[in-house]
Amino acid sequence: MIRLIEAEELRRVLSMTDAIDALETAFRDEDLSRSAPLRSSVATPAGTLLLMPAAGERGVGVKLVTLSEFNPRRGLPFIHGAYVLFDRETQRPEAVIDGTELTAIRTAALSGLATRMLARADPRRLVLFGAGVQATAHLQAMAAVAPLEEAVIVSRTPDAARALADRAAAMGMQASVGESSAVARADLVCTCTTSPVPLFDGRVLAEGVHVKQRHRAGLAEAGDLLIPIAERAIGPEHIVADLAEVVRGATVRTADDDVTVFESVGMAFEDLGVARAALDAAG
């Protein structure tokens, strides 16, 4: 029987810590050069179908994502998705998992893993840009890997920012809605927006801070990287390692006052690792 795991069940059975642990295992054990070929796309009458396959020690899987620019006018999401997981040995289909929720968890869990590996041992103060689905998931991920005491939410949507601050307060943090200048006292900074321009002035960052950046379209729209590269403020020598190398023992942070930055757009083998953890948790 093929197991169906919808969004509500996925949120209930898969903890953020388990998702982070699953990604750490995947980065440590998988042959990343073989695990995930490039995604492909198909034009459809109503939009686009994206296919993101992966294969490895945890099975075989593919994330199917549809994009329809007309859906918001219908009161429907722009993106729909499903993840199909197959057994590694028999290739038998094992599960169909809500792809939108899986992506939200995986993306935040990846940030959590990077924070676990790159941040100082005792980060207490989080500044979070954004107040949507990814910002909410990132709040959970940061709390899973850091002893947070304070969270500042920075967003262009005040009501959503206040709601997320209330969620942080319910998790035991001192929480508030603030401005971008709050990064000057941050231990962790997460940017969960699609902004193509910098969200804050990096020159005001405190020593020892860890910054997690998320961009839907990658480096081509990562203004907070492209601008300092163009201005020669950073160069190739500042790119120390990828996350797989860090998980496997590469040293990035050499002192407590080092500033670390993690940039990612996601890879298909990450979805596979979290999908396997979800099925294991759901039983």
> What CATH number does domain 3-103+269-282 carry, 3.30.1780.10, 3.10.20.340, 3.40.190.10, 3.20.20.70?
3.30.1780.10
Q: How confident is the model at residue 267 (pLDDT cuts 50, 70, 90)?
A: confident
Average pLDDT over residues 111-121: 93
In this prediction, residue 46 has a pLDDT band, given cuts at 50, 70 and 90, of very high
pLDDT computed for residue 194 by the predictor: 76
Grade residue 34 by pLDDT with cuts at 50, 70 and 90: low
Q: Is the pLDDT confidence value at 215 over 50?
A: no
Give the HSE-up count for residue 10: Cα atoms under 13 Å, Cβ half-sphere: 25
Percentage above 90 pLDDT, the chain: 63
**Band (230; pLDDT cuts 50, 70, 90):** confident
Nearest residue to 23 via CA among 257, 282, 269: 269
> Given a cut of 80, is residue 214 above it in pLDDT?
no
Could you report the per-residue pLDDT of 14-28, keeping only the tens digit for each? 999 999 999 999 999
Q: Which of 225, 223, 227, 249 is nearest to 239 (CA)?
A: 225
Q: Are strands 40-44 and 47-56 parallel, antiparallel or unpaired?
A: antiparallel
Q: What percent of the chain has pLDDT over 70?
A: 90
Q: Three-state SS for 11?
A: helix
Give me the pLDDT at residue 30, please.
79
Q: Evaluate the CA torsion angle 139, 155, 233, 265 in order and state its sign.
A: positive
Domain limits, CATH 3.30.1780.10, in the chain? 3-103+269-282
Candidates 3.40.640.10, 3.40.50.720, 2.40.340.10, 3.30.70.380; CATH matching 119-266: 3.40.50.720
DSSP 257-268: T--EEEEE---H
Residue range 84-94: mean pLDDT, rounded: 97
The CATH 3.40.50.720 domain(s) of the chain lie at: 119-266
Q: What pTM was computed for the model? A: 0.88
Q: What are phi and psi of 68, to 5 degrees?
A: -140, 115
Flag whether pLDDT at 209 surpasses 90: no
Give me the mean pLDDT over the 191-206 stretch: 77
State the Cα–Cα distance between residues 213 and 198, nearest whole angstrom. 10
Q: What is the pLDDT of residues 145-196, one digit of tens each?
A: 999 999 999 999 999 999 999 999 999 999 999 999 999 999 999 999 877 7
Residue with tokens 């006292």: 185
- Name the residue with higher pLDDT: 126 or 196: 126
User: Which of 88, 24, 39, 8 is closest to 249 using CA atoms?
Assistant: 24
Pairwise CA distance, residues 228 & 66, whole Å? 34
Residue 81 pLDDT greater than 80, yes or no: yes
DSSP labels, 63-82:
EEEEE-TTGGGGT--SEEEE
Tokens of 86: 């197959």
CA-to-CA distance for 283 and 279, rounded, in angstroms?
6
Mean pLDDT of the chain: 88
Q: What is the pLDDT of residue 211?
A: 73
130-144 per-position pLDDT tens digit = 999 999 999 999 999
pLDDT given for residue 217 in this prediction: 39
